[in-house]
Amino acid sequence: MDGALACDSLGMLSSAKPLPVHPASRLARIQQGMALGSLATAAAWAVWAWHGSPTVALVGAFALLFSYVGVLALEFVLMARVNRQDPTPAPTVWTVLCAWWQEVVVAPKVFSWRQPFRWRCLPDADVPATPGQQAVVLVHGFVCNRGLWLPWMRELRRLGRPYTSVNLEPVFGSIDDYTPWIDDAVRRAHALTGRPPLLVCHSMGGLAARAWLAATPGAGERVSGVVTIGTPHHGTWLAQFSHLTNGKQMRIGGPWLRALEVREAALPSPRPPFTCWYSNADSIVFPTSNATLPGADNRLVPGVPHVALAFHPRVMGESLAMLASADRSPAARTDS
pLDDT digits (tens, 9 = 90+) for 174-207: 999 999 999 999 999 999 999 999 999 999 999 9
User: 274-278 and 163-165 as β-strands: parallel, antiparallel, unpaired?
Assistant: unpaired
Count CB atoms within 10 A of the CB of residue 191. Answer: 13
For residues 229 and 310, the answer to whether their CB atoms sit within 8 Å is yes
Per-residue DSSP letter, 112: I
* pLDDT tier, 147 (very low <50, low <70, confident <90, very high otherwise): very high
Residue 8 in this model has a pLDDT that exceeds 50:
no
Question: Could you tell me if 332 and 127 are in contact, meaning their C-beta atoms sit under 8 angstroms apart?
Answer: no
Give the pLDDT score at 324.
Answer: 79
Average pLDDT over every residue of 34-46: 94
**Edge-to-edge strands of the sheet including 274-278?**
163-165, 136-139, 198-202, 225-229, 274-278, 297-300
User: What pLDDT, on a 0 to 100 scale, did the predictor assign at position 328?
Assistant: 65
Residue 331 pLDDT more than 60? no
pLDDT of residue 332 exceeding 80: no
**286-324 pLDDT, tens per residue?**
999 999 999 999 999 999 999 999 999 999 999 999 987
Measured CA to CA, the distance from residue 145 to residue 28 in angstroms comes to 8
Q: What is the pTM of this model?
A: 0.91
- What's the pLDDT tens digit per position in 255-281? 999 999 999 999 998 899 999 999 999
